[in-house]
């Protein structure tokens, strides 16, 4: 933002100079060049800022942290630079994971959850999710955390809230023995029946590989190990998105 030097300087003149146009003109002549410099510095800052830089200016950002472009497009290169910054500054704490998500996605809200036995789940409502974000977070995670899924919210829903389960049949869970029944997540967290579409499940509705989801005693395979039961959340890079369940 350009600083209004001229307006500020004139507002600070003492009252005896209110009717002295020559004094005002002198003050204006002294501070007007500062406004031009301020505008130039603002433009320079924006052109060299990692989130807004492009082309040769972004190359300069990469040079500072030791990341070469290697024919990468701006957005891919920008993510690589951010990854190096996070790696260089992280002390592998949960706070670093949270700040990593903030740095990558520019959110208003972040939620962090540790899940047994070695999983940290992060929710963000940021509008941007650079490709490879989950891999970057895994790199800066504490050594004891083997899996770091990243979930991004869309709309009003928030993690770990209760609400109405919509269109449960869209899940398409069919027991092998043909018996009636619903989907059960970790015994008590999530139950969706054919006759009662109203539930009080945790919005997350997920489980790591070592603590699997089951339907009527049979394990549900969910790709890399994370099942997101929601239309408002999507798992990036590591997991599976199940649509049409939560509203």
The distance in angstroms from the start CA to the end CA of the chain is: 41
Reading the block at residue 133, the tokens are 């974000």
Please state which of the ranges 113-122, 132-141, 208-217 shows the lowest mean pLDDT.
Answer: 208-217
Q: Which sign, positive or negative, has the C-alpha torsion 38, 105, 121, 139? A: negative
Q: What is the pLDDT of residue 220?
A: 46
Are 142 and 62 contained in the same domain? Answer: yes
Q: Specify the higher pLDDT residue, 207 or 47.
A: 47
* Phi-psi domain of 168 (left: phi exceeds 0; alpha: psi -120 through 50; beta: other): alpha
Q: Is residue 197 part of a domain?
A: no
Same domain, residue pair 118 and 141: yes
Instruction: State pLDDT tens for residues 6-42.
Output: 888 888 888 888 888 898 899 888 888 888 888 888 8
157, 111 contact by CB (below 8 A): no
Q: Mention every residue, 6+ apart, whose C-beta is less than 8 A from residue 135.
A: 237
Structural domain boundaries enclosing 100: 55-153
Q: Is 124 found in the same domain as 61? A: yes
Among candidate residues 153, 186, 220, the one where a domain is terminated: 153
For the chain, how many residues are written?
Answer: 247
15 belongs to a structural domain: yes
> What's the rounded Cα separation, in Å, for the pair 52 and 244?
36
How many domains does the chain contain in total? 2
Say if residues 215 and 184 touch (Cβ distance below 8 Å).
yes
Q: Last residue of a domain, which of 104, 131, 153?
A: 153
Average pLDDT, the chain: 67
**Same domain assignment for residues 43 and 72:** no
Q: For the residues of 205-231, what is the DSSP string, one character each? A: ----TTS--EETTEEPP-TTT-EEE-S
**Is residue 137 a contact partner of residue 100, using CB atoms and an 8 Å limit?**
yes
For residue 62, the domain's CATH number is 1.10.287
Per-residue pLDDT tens over the stretch 147-180: 777 766 544 444 444 333 333 333 434 444 554 4
pLDDT band at 46 (very low <50, low <70, confident <90, very high): confident
In a domain, 238, yes or no: no
Q: Are residues 14 and 95 in the same domain?
A: no
**Cβ atoms 212, 219 nearer than 8 A:** yes
């Amino acid at each position: 933002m350009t600083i209004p030097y001229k307006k500020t300087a004139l507002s600070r003149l003492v009252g005896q100079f209110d009717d002295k146009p020559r004094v005002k003109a002198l003050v204006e002549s002294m501070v007007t060049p500062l406004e031009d410099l301020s505008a130039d510095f603002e433009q320079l800052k924006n052109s060299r800022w990692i989130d807004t830089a492009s082309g040769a200016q972004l190359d300069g950002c990469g040079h500072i942290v030791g990341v070469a472009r290697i024919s990468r497009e701006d957005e891919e290169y920008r993510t690589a630079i951010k990854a190096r910054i996070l790696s260089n500054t992280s002390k592998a704490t949960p706070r670093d994971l949270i700040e990593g998500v903030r740095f990558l996605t520019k959110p208003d809200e972040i939620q962090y959850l540790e899940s047994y036995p070695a999983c940290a789940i992060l929710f963000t409502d940021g509008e941007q999710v650079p490709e490879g974000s989950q891999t970057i977070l895994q790199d800066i995670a504490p050594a004891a955390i083997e899996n770091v899924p990243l979930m991004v919210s869309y709309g009003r829903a928030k993690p770990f809230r209760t609400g109405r389960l919509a269109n449960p049949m869209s899940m398409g869970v069919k027991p092998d023995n043909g018996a009636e029944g619903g989907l059960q997540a970790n015994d008590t967290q999530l139950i969706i029946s054919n006759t009662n579409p109203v539930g009080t499940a945790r919005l997350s509705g997920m489980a790591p590989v070592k603590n699997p989801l089951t339907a009527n005693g049979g394990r549900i395979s969910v790709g890399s190990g994370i099942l997101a039961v929601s239309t408002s959340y999507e798992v990036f890079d590591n997991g599976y998105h199940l649509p049409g369940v939560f509203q």
